[in-house]
Amino acid sequence: PTLPLSTTVIVCSCHPVATASTMAEAFSKTTSEEDQSIQEPKEANSMTAQKQKKHIFGDSFAAYFPRVLKQVHQALSLSQEAVSVMDSMVRDILDRIATEAGHLAHNSKCVTITSRDIRMAVCLLLPGKMGKLAESQGTNATLRTSLCAIWQERK
């Protein structure tokens, strides 16, 4: 389906769901002849609902909490309220770490946040053993990622 030449549609959005719904609206405003033969706006709306559900779920860490719990205690489960609280807490900690890493990068007059900035932010924000454990886990994850990248380059 194409729009008439006199119609100009400008879609500028950071969210693909908003873009898809805007485009579906624009396509639904075609001539009456095209409306009778084309049923795509309904399909686009159903596809938009699927994408929107996936997008909302993608912004959350809620899917990971039950998986991790099953690795530790298979018989236990989490209520929706507990998952919501944990998701909120993880988002808050990540936001604090990112903010602190940004301050550290700014203080060192760098534009880019490096892994060192993240490591230092974690050490500053998380107390004692928790900070040391988080630092070692982060270092291990960084090393694994680097090694995988090196192996991919060699192949």
Q: Which residues contact 142 (CB under 8 A, 6 or more apart)?
A: 115
pLDDT tens digit sequence for 3-28: 444 444 443 333 444 434 444 444 44
The CATH class, in words, for 77-154 is mainly alpha
Q: Structure tokens of 61?
A: 């860490």
**Where in the chain are the domains?**
16-58, 77-154
d(C-alpha 153, C-alpha 66), whole Å: 35
Percentage with pLDDT > 70 across the chain? 63
Element (H, E) at 23: helix 16-28
Is the model's pLDDT at 35 over the cut of 50? no
Q: What is the mean pLDDT of residues 80-105?
A: 94
Rounded CA-CA distance 106/27 in Å is 46
Helix (H, G, I), strand (E, B) or coil at 60: coil
